């Protein structure tokens, strides 16, 4: 199986999780982080999900799964410990043309969820085609050490410079390389605000606001 890698915009879209355990809680947190409207179908909720419901962050449908609960969903995740229910979720979602993921069962999935390194808007996804979650986790841990929080702010700076870099197409890549060569990541890591601003100004001619908080 060769999966097509894609980043999906699910902001303000209905996303359904069938299951109320710890795995479902982790899936819910990632969906919420992307701005989705999360519906959880389960008679009971794990403490983590109950806490999200108490904050009105998820909509809890406290009953057994029925196919109409997934109507108009952007995507569906099956995260129960019941193979029969997971099979129904997969079948129903596919019949309705809704992308579905069944945890730990790639054959019932239209998509699988990668291991993820997140640094603000920087997302590094690691996939193994569902063959080895352990390898994906190992690589994620290595990348987390290599790409620290300084990359989040560096990306914010690049975002603020994007228009000017786009207008100077020939110089954009040179500016990017020059920023790295000037050691901007180390200065960001050490929270040397004035030095970061100085480097950006010298290389691009732009002044940027920087918030290390």
Q: What is the pLDDT of residue 169?
A: 65
pLDDT band (50, 70, 90) for residue 154? very high
* Tokens 């999966």, residue located: 3
Cα distance between residue 32 and residue 57, in whole Å:
8
Query: Reduced to 3 states, what is the DSSP secondary structure of residue 2?
Result: coil
pTM beyond cutoff 0.75? yes
Across residues 172-190, what is the average pLDDT? 92
Calculate the alpha carbon distances from 176 to 124, 133, 156, 201, 211 in Å.
19, 34, 13, 13, 20
Cα distance between residue 146 and residue 167, in whole Å:
31
**Among residues 190, 191, 197, which one has the least CA distance to residue 160?**
197
Ordered structural domains, the chain, with CATH:
1-113 (3.40.50.720), 114-147 (3.30.160), 150-204 (no CATH)
pLDDT band (50, 70, 90) for residue 170? low
As beta bridge partners, residue 40 has 17, 60
* Tokens 């100004």, residue located: 201
74-83, 120-129, 157-166: segment of lowest average pLDDT? 157-166
- What pLDDT, in 10s, does the model give residues 94-131? 999 999 999 989 999 999 999 999 999 999 999 998 88
């Amino acid at each position: 199986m060769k999966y097509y890698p894609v980043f999906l915009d699910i902001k303000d879209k209905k996303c359904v999780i069938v299951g109320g355990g710890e795995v479902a809680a982790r899936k819910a947190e990632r969906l919420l982080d992307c701005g989705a409207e999360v519906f959880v179908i389960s008679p009971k909720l794990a403490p983590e999900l109950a806490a999200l419901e108490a904050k009105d962050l998820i909509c809890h449908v406290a009953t057994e799964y029925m196919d109409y609960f997934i109507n108009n969903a952007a995507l569906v995740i099956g995260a129960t410990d019941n193979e029969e229910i997971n099979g129904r979720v997969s079948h129903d979602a596919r019949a309705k043309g809704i992308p579905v993921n069944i945890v730990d069962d790639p054959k019932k999935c239209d998509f699988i969820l990668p291991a993820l390194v997140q640094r603000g808007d920087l997302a590094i996804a690691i996939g193994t085609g569902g063959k080895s979650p352990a390898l994906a986790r190992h690589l994620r841990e290595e990348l987390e050490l290599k790409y620290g929080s300084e990359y989040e702010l560096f990306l914010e700076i690049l975002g603020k410079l994007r228009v000017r870099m786009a207008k100077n197409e020939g110089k954009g890549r040179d500016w990017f390389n020059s920023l790295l060569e000037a050691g901007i990541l180390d200065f960001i890591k050490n929270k040397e605000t004035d030095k970061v601003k100085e480097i950006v100004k010298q290389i691009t001619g732009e002044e940027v606001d920087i918030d290390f908080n």
